[in-house]
Amino acid sequence: MNQPQPERIVIATRESRLALWQAEHVRDRLKSLYPRCSVELLGMTTRGDQILDRPLAKVGGKGLFVKELETALLDGRADIAVHSMKDVPMTMEPDFALVAISARENPLDALVSNKYAALEDIPPGGVVGTSSLRRESQLHARFPSLSVSSLRGNLDTRLRKLDEGQYDAIILAAAGLTRLGLASRIRAMLPAELSLPAAGQGALGIEALSSRPEVAAWMAPLADAGTAACVLAERAFSRALAGSCEVPLGAFAEIAAGRLRLRGFVAAPDGSRMASAELHGEQADAETLGLKLAEELRKHGAEEILAALAG
């Protein structure tokens, strides 16, 4: 029996410019799939958007960006929520499900600077802005002469702070800059060897209630199998090592010749200790590969690093 086509879909979204772009992108794809369906946005402000004076790691982590949207799903005001996958907590409540992960934009980090074309060009003591412990730990490890300073706010706010001269350079996700038509601000793309991305970076996830299989069926055409395999591997790795804003951790999977290559690391925030490894496997075994890589890192000292962070 054919699945009845939806008549109305409401998308819960944060109200930052990037979040709205993402929700509008999904809305437009749904409208092309279901021309008779009314697709609406429900804009919301989350706790993560309101708390801008402290690092996320200090105030509860990435879940602050999704809680209000999930409440809208639970009380029926929205059918789906659209997220940057790197903002979705690694462990989800059973009420909710990721019903589609769409094709990934560029997953890498990008250097944005009005003065310097590369990290190597920034003189000792130069100030680099980032809100991410993952980026901070890798900067400290590879460029110990640079000063790393906290940078919060939406994309436009971060760029404004750079333009005001508060930083010599800032590091942002290339995907967000590209999606908002700001790719011209990128001075250098940072290869994964230099700045390993966050789990899910560059991918969009669509969340719905687990109890609504019809919504999952509506969203199925938006899913990208290759991206989903990569993101599931990254998230399994991160989840196995208690990945959150409080842990400097990166995970990056890519597909080459039909096989999955997964790299991961965990580090001390100051970059003084780092455990890293990579594994290769089949796409169908994505989550198992993530768990295996986490075990591999434990053999390379991850346990001690995590214990020090917890202590």
DSSP, residue by residue, 133-178: HHHHHHHHHH-TTSEEEE--S-HHHHHHHHHTTS-SEEEEEHHHHH
Output the pTM of the full model: 0.91
8 A C-beta contact, residue 103 and residue 255:
no
* Active centre residues (catalytic): 87
Domain 8-104+202-223: which topology? D-Maltodextrin-Binding Protein; domain 2 (3.40.190)
Q: Are 142 and 196 in contact (CB under 8 A)?
A: no
From first to last of the 311 residues of the chain, give the pLDDT tens digit. Answer: 467 899 999 999 999 999 999 999 999 999 999 999 999 999 997 665 555 455 544 444 556 678 889 999 999 999 999 999 998 988 999 999 999 999 999 999 999 999 999 999 999 999 999 989 999 999 999 999 999 999 988 899 999 999 999 999 999 999 999 999 999 999 999 999 999 999 999 999 999 999 999 999 999 999 999 999 999 999 999 999 975 557 899 999 999 998 999 999 999 999 999 999 999 999 999 999 999 999 999 999 999 999 888 87
Spatial CB neighbours of 162, under 8 Å, sequence gap ≥ 6 = 112, 113, 114, 129, 169, 170
Helix (H) or strand (E) holding 271: none
**CATH placement of domain 109-190:** 3.40.190.10
Q: What's the CA gap between 5 and 31, in Å, rounded?
A: 11
CA 164 – CA 280 distance, rounded (Å):
44
Q: Which CATH number fits domain 234-310: 3.30.160.40, 3.40.250.10, 3.40.50.620, 3.30.565.60?
A: 3.30.160.40
Q: Is 310 exposed, middle or buried (0-12, 13-18, 19+ CB in 10 A)?
A: exposed
**CA dist list (Å): 205 to 33, 214, 275:** 18, 17, 29
| Nearest-angstrom CA–CA distance, 141 and 272 | 6
Query: CATH topology of 109-190 equal to that of 234-310?
Result: no
Q: 290 is written with which tokens?
A: 């993530």
**Residue boundaries of the structural domains of the chain:** 8-104+202-223, 109-190, 234-310
| Extended beta strands in 213-269, E state | 249-256, 259-267
